[in-house]
Amino acid sequence: MIKLTRIDDRLVHGQVAFTWTPALGIDCLLVANDKLAGDEFQKMALGLAKPAGVTLLIRTVREAAAFLNDTKSQGYKILVLIDSVKDAHALSQEVPAIRSVNVGGIRAKEGATLLSKAVALTGDDVLLARELLGQGIELEVRQVPTDKKQMLEKLLPS
């Protein structure tokens, strides 16, 4: 069962390990990322950051969708981690169970506009976010579970 789908360009780190995982009772972290799925060194590094007793799976976006749609995944309490709006969009198109996406952190980069203290989106990100919103998918901004939800829709440029 998907407990949370989170966009965070740092993927597995302290906020995920020490706040989100215990707050949601997570027993499986699923990183959906095409590049990392083929990088054994990065997979090992992320494995060092995962909380003890939690399964870490690192899959391509397509493989992650297949896992999430498989009934065998229903026994897990899953935190899905993706590092971009593009991958969130792709994954949500394949996984009907994704109805809400937490936007936890997307660092500023060239061409991006800072929308909150931890979220900066490019024009392409904004277009994809608006498409997700149009499909009825909630996009909320929070870094940690105790933060008040901010709806991304209200932060997007007009």
Is-catalytic flag, 89? no
Task: Walk along the chain (158 residues) in steps of 10 and give the mean pLDDT of each run.
Answer: 97 94 98 97 94 96 98 96 98 98 96 95 97 98 97 94
Domain count, the chain: 1
For residue 25, what pLDDT is reported? 98
Q: Which of 41, 20, 62 is nearest to 147 (CA)?
A: 20
The one catalytic residue among 9, 10, 13, 137: 13
Go through 26-56 and write b for each residue having 16 or more CB atoms within 10 A of its CB, e for each that does not.
bbbbbbbbeebbeeeebbeebeeebbeebeb
Residue 65 lies in domain = 2-154
Domain CATH number, residue 124: 3.40.35.10
For residue 99, what pLDDT is reported? 98
**Model's pTM, two decimal places?**
0.96
